[in-house]
């Protein structure tokens, strides 16, 4: 257990529905990342927060995706109007400013869009 | 664009063997190279990492070899055990300008037979 938690662990939804995932990073970590991992592939970067500011977004993050980190603590990732291609594992990672190269990952949220 | 290429896709060794996983990168701005281990249903866990100013780093049974001129690095697992059976990912980062965004390889599924 790295100390990064994610909720829910699994989510099954129908195409067109909205879903929201939550990530709670290690408490003293000010940097938070979201990645997406599809079966048989490595994680792909989606977005990055430093404290509450979203500083970078991948072009993978379409307009249907939005992420927030209010108050610089937990973060949420919302997918609107889900599509079957959104089925993946959504991973959250955090790191501290002092040791920003070491990212600690949560267990992920497995999304299945039917 | 696949910036980090990993091989082999899968690897089977006997207990006590020394599996070797290789990665090659294209972006010469990368300057931090971690390896992650992932078990089914879990998030990736940081194993060991290296910076390009050293050619080798060892932590326990895990060793990274780094060849800056060839833009290649590899993971060696000494005295492998069945508990090492997992998927291994190499990754790369540019520390200064990318806010710690990791670019991952495709992964290697390692099986260690008893």
DSSP B98-113: STT--EE---EEEEEE
Give, in order, the Cα–Cα distances in Å from B41 to each of A75, A91, B16, B38, B71. Answer: 21, 11, 26, 8, 32
Spell out which residues of chain A touch residue B4, defining contact as CB-CB under 8 Å. Answer: 42
Nearest CA in chain A to B95: A101
**Which pLDDT tens digit goes with each residue over A87-111?**
999 999 999 877 668 899 999 999 9
Q: Residue A85 has what DSSP assignment?
A: G
Q: How far apart are CA B18 and CA A109, in angstroms?
A: 33
The yes-or-no verdict on residue A15 having pLDDT over 90 is yes
- From its phi and psi, is residue B107 left (phi > 0), alpha (psi between -120 and 50) or beta? left
List the one residue out of A49, A37, A114, A55 whose CA is nearest residue A75.
A49
For the residues B21-49, what does the mean pLDDT come to? 94
- Whether pLDDT at A21 is above 80: yes
From B49, B103, B107, residue closest to A101, measured CB to CB: B49
pLDDT band at B97 (very low <50, low <70, confident <90, very high): low
Per-residue tokens: B72? 């290649």
A residues 51-70 lying closer than 8 A (beta carbon) to B: 55-56
Return d(Cα A31, Cα A73) in angstroms, integer. 10
Average pLDDT, chain A: 93
A107 touches chain B (CB under 8 A): yes
Question: How far apart, in Å, do the first and last CA atoms of chain A sit?
Answer: 30
- Cβ <8 Å between A91 and B43: yes
Assess whether pLDDT exceeds 70 at residue B21. Answer: yes
* Omega within 30 of 0 (cis) for the link into B112: no
User: Per residue in B64-92, pLDDT tens?
Assistant: 999 999 999 999 999 999 999 999 999 99
pLDDT at A8: 97
Question: Which chain B residues are within 8 Å of A107, Cβ to Cβ?
Answer: 41-43
- Model pLDDT, residue A28: 86
Residue B5 burial by Cβ neighbours in a 10 Å radius (0-12, 13-18, 19+): middle
Contacts of A31 in chain B (CB under 8 A): 99-100
């Amino acid at each position: 257990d790295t100390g990064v938690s994610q909720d829910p662990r699994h989510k099954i939804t129908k195409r067109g529905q909205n879903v929201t995932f939550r990530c709670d990073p290690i408490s003293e970590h000010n940097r938070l990342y979201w990645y997406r991992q599809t079966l048989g592939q490595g994680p792909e970067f989606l977005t990055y927060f430093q404290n509450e500011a979203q500083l970078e977004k991948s072009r993978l993050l379409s307009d249907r995706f939005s992420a927030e980190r209010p108050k610089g603590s937990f973060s949420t990732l919302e997918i609107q109007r889900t599509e079957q291609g959104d089925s993946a594992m959504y991973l959250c990672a955090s790191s501290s400013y002092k040791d920003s190269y070491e990212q600690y990952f949560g267990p992920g949220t497995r999304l299945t869009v039917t | 664009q696949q910036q980090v290429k990993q091989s082999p896709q899968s690897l089977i060794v006997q207990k006590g063997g020394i599996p070797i996983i290789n990665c090659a990168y294209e972006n010469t701005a990368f300057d931090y190279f971690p390896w992650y281990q992932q078990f089914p249903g879990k998030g990736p866990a940081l194993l060991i990492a290296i910076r390009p100013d050293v050619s080798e780093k060892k932590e326990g049974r895990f060793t990274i070899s780094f060849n800056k001129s060839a833009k290649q690095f590899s993971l060696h697992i000494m005295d492998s055990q069945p508990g090492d059976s997992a998927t291994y990912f190499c990754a790369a980062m540019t520390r200064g300008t990318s806010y710690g965004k990791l670019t991952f390889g495709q992964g290697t599924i390692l099986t260690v037979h008893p």
